[in-house]
Structures are given as C-alpha cells and as structure tokens.
Structure 1
Amino acid sequence: MESQRDDVAMRWCVVTGGRGFMARHLVAALLRSGEWRVRVTDLAPTIVLGPGENEGLLGDALRDGRAVYASVDVCNLDQVIKAFDGVDVVFHTVAADPSKNNLQLHYKVNVEGTKSVIDACKICKVKRLIHTSSSAVVFDGVHELLNVNESLPYPDKFPDAYAQTKAEAEKLVMKANGTNDLLTCCIRPSSIFGPGDLILPTLDRYGRTQFTIGDGKNYDDFVYVENVVHSHICAERILSTVEGAKRSGGKAYFITNMEPMNMWDFIHMVQGELGHKRLFKMRLPVLIIKPISYLVEWGCKVLSYGMFQPQILTPARIKYVTLNRTFSCNKAIEELGYKPTVTIMDGLRTTVKSYIQLQNKDFS
C-alpha cells in the first residue's frame, strides 16, 4: 500500500478524554510504539497521576516531553483548537458518563463536543480523526442483536440518552470524512473490560450476592480494553494509506473479542476469579425488577446523580442486561486488519490481578 504518512519521526497526536478508562490504555500504547508524541487532554486543570503512573511510562513521557497534558473542555472550540495545533491525528474518546441518563448532558458532551472536535480538526488541518463510538448506537432496547454487522441501520428510538447521542456523534464524524482533507473512522466497541474499569469494584462489592435478571440466557460480546486500543491503532494506520483511506474513510466498525458468551456466566466468572464463593443464587424476573428500576432512576434525578449512582437498576440498564447483544467483527478483520490480541480469559486474569494489587496497595 502507498503510504500517506509523513517522514518526520515522532509526530504529535491528541487523545481527548485522555484520563478516561480506555483512553489511558490508548495513551500508553501510543507511547510504547515509539511513533508518537501524545497530547493528553481532559477536563481537570492539571494531571494527577495514579498508582504506578509517576514511575511508569506516562510519568517518564511527561518528564521528557514525549507527552504533555492540556486542560480542555471539548465544548470550548478555542481550547480545542489550541490543543490540536500542530497535530497529525486525533483520537476522540470523550463521552458523558453512560450511567447518567441525562439527555442535556449527553447532547452537550457527545454531540456538541464532537462538533467542536471536528471543527478544530478542519481548522488545524488534522489529517485523521479516530472516533470512539459504541455498539449501543444500533440498539433500541427492544429487539435482540445476534451477530449483527454494520449494515444494521440506526434504530428510530434508543434505550437511553447515551446511545442516542453517540449515534448522532458518529453520524457527524462519518459525514466529516473527506472535508478539508480530513479522514475519519469510527470504532464501535462492545462491552469493554480491563484494568482500571468500574466493573470489578462493583462485582467485588456484591460478589457473594450473585443474582440474575431475567431468564439468564442472554449473550453479550465482551472486549478486553487492549483489543479496543489495538482497533484504534489499526484504524489510524489504515487511514494513513491511500488504499485504506478510500476503503475505510467515513466508516464505522464493530469491535469485540470475538468470543460471545452468556453475560451472567461472565459476571459469575469474574466473581469466581475474585475469590467469591456463591452463598446463594437469585433470579429476579423482569416484571418485578422493572418497577424498581424506575424508582432508582427517579432517585438518581432527585439526588442529581451525586450521592446515588444508578449502577445496573435503571430501565435502560435492564434492557442492556436482559437481551442478546452480539456483533460481527468480519468487516474490521477484512478492512482494518483487526484481530484480538488478548483472549477474554487472559484479559480477565490480568484485570483481576491488577485490581487485587491495587487493593493491596490501598490497604498497605
């Protein structure tokens, strides 16, 4: 393939929302590659390094200039333009918290923020924009998804504000492809897990009360965080070639571990790896739990999402955890050259090991 890459070594890229869960892994991978200087942007006024980061790759990179931090609100175009100056590639990972079903919040961050990112890319002559979308953009909360591919259209209605606004943002990114010489691509990860996620603390907290909502037969497609990172890097590399830009520019791709499994088996497997022995199993029928979910969502709104986090018991989350949701990666394999590099089991063991080590440090 003929390459469109510049000959200049160590080009600059930006990772928006760079202190988020997946984004931290992406930043690390970009630095490890030796190909990039990384500008990490997020809302915090300064970067606060977590356990191990100061002595690790990111800390070293911040000290020697291979990485810099910029406080940026993606809804502030002037701030975004300043952050994108001199940058070749933008990885846009910013999104509002999916657990907060607040349409105004999600529209501002996911849609208006993405508009600002696209506009700044055009103004700053950024070459490639890789957007972190979601497999939720094709989910209506009513119909099951079984090995669906990218030909599935967006639904007329969405189960929550997150899915609705992520779909709108994705449309904007795909439409921007080819304007002002900008090339774009959208990555649609399925259910992401890995070191630093919020799944393990929750499952650890409730590890002995193992329950199932619904009939417990629904399958999901999980994906280890490093595989999601790998897909973003694959997309950027493909867009940097003439042939790849023609084929993949303006497209979206589902990304999974290609190991669909029963969702509740996965949860119980995680709890088993954490060392929790089942005291009892409980099955909660949807007809019983659904009214409770509306009370939970109402409570979240009353408390402004401050003290009371909704976790799993909201109407939208009930839909996500009781219906089959699996996706085909064939298009990503054929067009991006994507292939999972870490299996679910290996990823799970790494995640649990990292979580336990962090817990031990906290209590030492």
Structure 2
Amino acid sequence: MDPSPASQEARRLCAVTGGRGFMARHLVAALLRSGDWCVRITDLGPDVAMEPAENDGLLGAALRDGRAAYISVDVCQLAQLTEALEGVETVFHTAAANQINNNFQLHYKVNVEGTKNVIEACNTCKVKTLIYTSSSGVVFDGVHGLFDADESTPYPDKFPDAYTQTKAEAEKLVMRANGIDELLTCCIRPGSIFGPGDTLVPTLVSYGGIMIIIGDGKNCDDFVYVENVVHAHICVEKTLSTEDNAKRSGGKAYFITNMEPVNMWDFLYMVLEELGYKSHFRLRIPLCLLKPITFLVDWSYNNILSHYGMRQPHMLTSTRIKYVTLNRTFNCNNAVEQLGYKPIVSLKEGVNMTTEFYKCFRARDMHISI
C-alpha cells in the first residue's frame, strides 16, 4: 500500500528506480531512516522479494506501515513509469543494465531509452527533482589512465564498453533536461563502489584468497564506500532544494569518491586480510602473457559462445583488463564546495564494515544482499 494521506503530510514522497539494486537498497534505507521521506521503490521484479533480515528490519516495517511501497516497473515502459511517479516530488534514478553484460542493444535500451522515459514521466508528473546515478567511467577511454580527473574532463571519443558509453549518453540527457518544465536535475559519478551486498568480496573469495595481480600492480583507483554514495545523493537533493544552489548545481555532474585514492591491489589485499586470508601469496600475470588469452576469450564469445546463449567470462575480457590495469582517480572538490559533500565513512571503516557483513555468511551464501 502507498503511504497514507496523514503520513504524506509529514513526509515528502520520492521514488527510487532500480530500487532493489546494490546501492539503491542502501539509499532506500537511508531515506527511510531520515524520517523525511515516504519511498516508492520501483524495479523489474513482480514483488519486492525481501531477504529475511530485510523483512524483519527497517524495510519490512516501512512496507507494512506505508512509509514505503513497491511497484513493479520496467523503465522501458513509459506508461508504467508515469503511473509510478504520480505525486512524486523527487526521483532517484539508479536503474541500469548489468555492467557485466557488454551488450550494446541492451544497455542502450535500458540506460538511454529508459532514462528518456524517466525524464518524460518526470515532466508529465511535475516531478521537481531528478537525481541520476551515473558513473565515473563516463570519462574513461580504456586507453589512457586518469589522474585526479575533475568535471572538466571531456567524454572520450571512444568508450571501452557499452555500459559507460550508454551511461554517458543518459547523463547528457539528464543534464539537458534541467530547467525544462521546472524540473531540476543533477548527476552523481561514483568511483568504484563497495560495501555490504556488493560483488567485490564474493569475487575475491571465489579465488580462494589468492591475490592475482594483472600488469605491473602499480595502478591506483578511487574506491567509495556505498554509504558515501548514498550521502552524496542526499546532499544533491538538499542542494537543489534552494533556489540559489539549484541555479549553480542544476544540470551538472559531480564525481564522488572516498577521497582516498589507493593502489588498487593494496586495497584488494587489505580486504582479503580483513576476511582472514593472511597468506602473502600474490600471483602476478604480465600483460604480455594475458593479452593473447583475452583476445581468445573475446573471439570465442563473439563467434561461438554468444550464439548458444552462453555468458561471456567477464573477468578475462579485454575490456575488464583495461579497468584493472590503468590509473583511475578523481577530484571531488566541486562536490565538496558546491554540494557540501564529505565522506561520512573512511575507507578503512568501510572495509571493516563490509568484511564484517560477509563474515556472517559462509562462502556459499556470498550472494546474499542486505
């Protein structure tokens, strides 16, 4: 059921598209904890499909008392979206195609056409604010490393994968929509997100705690704890709620990280150590040996495996190798100065909370979300 009229008088109504995704679950929880919002959760599933911990916790209680409602919505279906956004004040648009699947048609349909639908539905329903979860990858070409890149960094002429190409296209749509029909928009570009419910820890554990380093092992990355990404979304909403700040930040995009760039492999090793893997064994694979293998994997998928509906082995693709061997660090000064953003959880604290979460489950249960 939807929030009661009495509840709506005390709380504003927002919607979270893709609301059952990793980051979105944390965002929904934070919005409910704040006491300021009633939350309409939309996603593809026919029902909310809660884990036992969710059913007994904040989300379950909110769904039962009307502070939250779940609606099955496909962002590619404009009519469904328009119905779901009726009466909504703010939309947090997090829905996206799975990054692992490098299918351009799928990503374009969901990320670009789906975002067009979200914008049209927002205009039809007189939504005040649209906040889009983009990606720091929208300025990455897969060839050149990024050092302290800020928002003046242009989009590349060529993208390394369908996900970042279509996220960039969607981001442009959202920024251009600012000011049309009085809609205020803004985009968040998170770094590499980690936290309870992510895929990082299950992937590391799947290798038995062995640290497999690809390339020279010297590249840095800008990780960001999931609650800091959530905090950034809330900072954007507050910023756009005042006229002067809306004029300054409306229609813009902001990088969001933990503001603690680290050697990527040292960070992954720290996660493994916190999980209890104390072995110092590290396997280093030079790129000169790996490139022929990734070429064979890509060729096999494009010419054989895809025709039988088989998934591409995502860890050994040439695209994936670009992400784990090049520097990718970003400057958050604009977010700090214009949004009032500051990480609320340090990198070390985030690692501790993430690994404690996963320690509660055996390796076979690593798929469990919060």
Instruction: Please classify the TM superposition score into its range, dividing by the shorter chain length.
Output: over 0.9
- Helix, strand or coil at the partner of 1:15: strand
Match of residue 332 from structure 1: 335
State the one-letter code of the partner of 1:340: P
Deviation at 1:361, TM superposition (A): 10
State the one-letter code of the partner of 1:64: D
Match of residue 122 from structure 2: 121
RMSD: 1.7
Aligned residue runs from structure 1 range 171-320, under 5 A: 171-278=172-279, 280-300=281-301, 302-304=304-306, 308=311, 310-320=313-323
Match of residue 4 from structure 1: none
State the one-letter code of the partner of 1:120: A
1:150-185 CA deviation, whole Å, 9 max, x = no partner? 001101000100110000000000000000000000
- Helix, strand or coil at the partner of 2:16: strand
**Equivalent-residue separation in structure 2 for 1:207 and 1:264 (angstroms):** 16
Deviation at 1:277, TM superposition (A): 3.0
**Equivalent-residue separation in structure 2 for 1:180 and 1:289 (angstroms):** 51
Match of residue 36 from structure 1: 37
Match of residue 14 from structure 2: 13
State the one-letter code of the partner of 2:103: N
Match of residue 3 from structure 2: none
- Helix, strand or coil at the partner of 2:157: coil
**Equivalent-residue separation in structure 2 for 1:28 and 1:117 (angstroms):** 22
**Equivalent-residue separation in structure 2 for 1:361 and 1:203 (angstroms):** 13
Deviation at 1:207, TM superposition (A): 3.5
- Helix, strand or coil at the partner of 1:140: coil
Q: Is the 8 A contact 2:261 2:329 kept in 1?
A: yes
**Equivalent-residue separation in structure 2 for 1:32 and 1:268 (angstroms):** 33
Q: Is the 8 A contact 2:220 2:328 kept in 1?
A: yes
Note closer, same or farther for the CA distance 1:46–1:193 as it changes in structure 2 (3 Å cut): same
Deviation at 1:290, TM superposition (A): 1.8
1:278-309 CA deviation, whole Å, 9 max, x = no partner? 36321111122122223333455544496645
**Equivalent-residue separation in structure 1 for 2:139 and 2:219 (angstroms):** 17
Deviation at 1:11, TM superposition (A): 1.2
Q: Is the 8 A contact 1:208 1:279 kept in 2?
A: no
Percent of residue pairs identical: 66
Note closer, same or farther for the CA distance 1:109–1:33 as it changes in structure 2 (3 Å cut): same
Q: Is the 8 A contact 1:75 1:116 kept in 2?
A: yes
**Equivalent-residue separation in structure 1 for 2:274 and 2:290 (angstroms):** 27
**Equivalent-residue separation in structure 2 for 1:145 and 1:230 (angstroms):** 24
**Equivalent-residue separation in structure 2 for 1:362 and 1:136 (angstroms):** 30
Note closer, same or farther for the CA distance 1:346–1:257 as it changes in structure 2 (3 Å cut): same
- Helix, strand or coil at the partner of 1:358: coil
1:116-165 CA deviation, whole Å, 9 max, x = no partner? 00000000000000000000000001111000100011010001001100
The answer for unaligned runs of 5 or more in structure 1 is 1-6
**Equivalent-residue separation in structure 2 for 1:362 and 1:103 (angstroms):** 31
**Equivalent-residue separation in structure 2 for 1:362 and 1:216 (angstroms):** 30
Among candidates 338, 346, 349, match of residue 346 of structure 1: 349
1:102-125 CA deviation, whole Å, 9 max, x = no partner? 111110110000000000000000
Question: TM-score, structure 2 length as denominator?
Answer: 0.93
Q: Is the 8 A contact 1:299 1:308 kept in 2?
A: no
The answer for unaligned runs of 5 or more in structure 2 is 1-7
State the one-letter code of the partner of 2:137: A
Aligned residue runs from structure 1 range 43-192, under 5 A: 43-192=44-193
Q: Is the 8 A contact 1:188 1:252 kept in 2?
A: yes
**Equivalent-residue separation in structure 2 for 1:12 and 1:326 (angstroms):** 35
Q: Is the 8 A contact 1:138 1:154 kept in 2?
A: yes
Deviation at 1:272, TM superposition (A): 1.0
Question: TM-score, structure 1 length as denominator?
Answer: 0.94
- Helix, strand or coil at the partner of 1:186: strand
Among candidates 339, 345, 358, match of residue 361 of structure 2: 358
1:81-109 CA deviation, whole Å, 9 max, x = no partner? 01100000000001111111111111011
State the one-letter code of the partner of 1:72: V
- Helix, strand or coil at the partner of 2:159: coil
State the one-letter code of the partner of 1:183: L
Q: Is the 8 A contact 2:305 2:312 kept in 1?
A: no
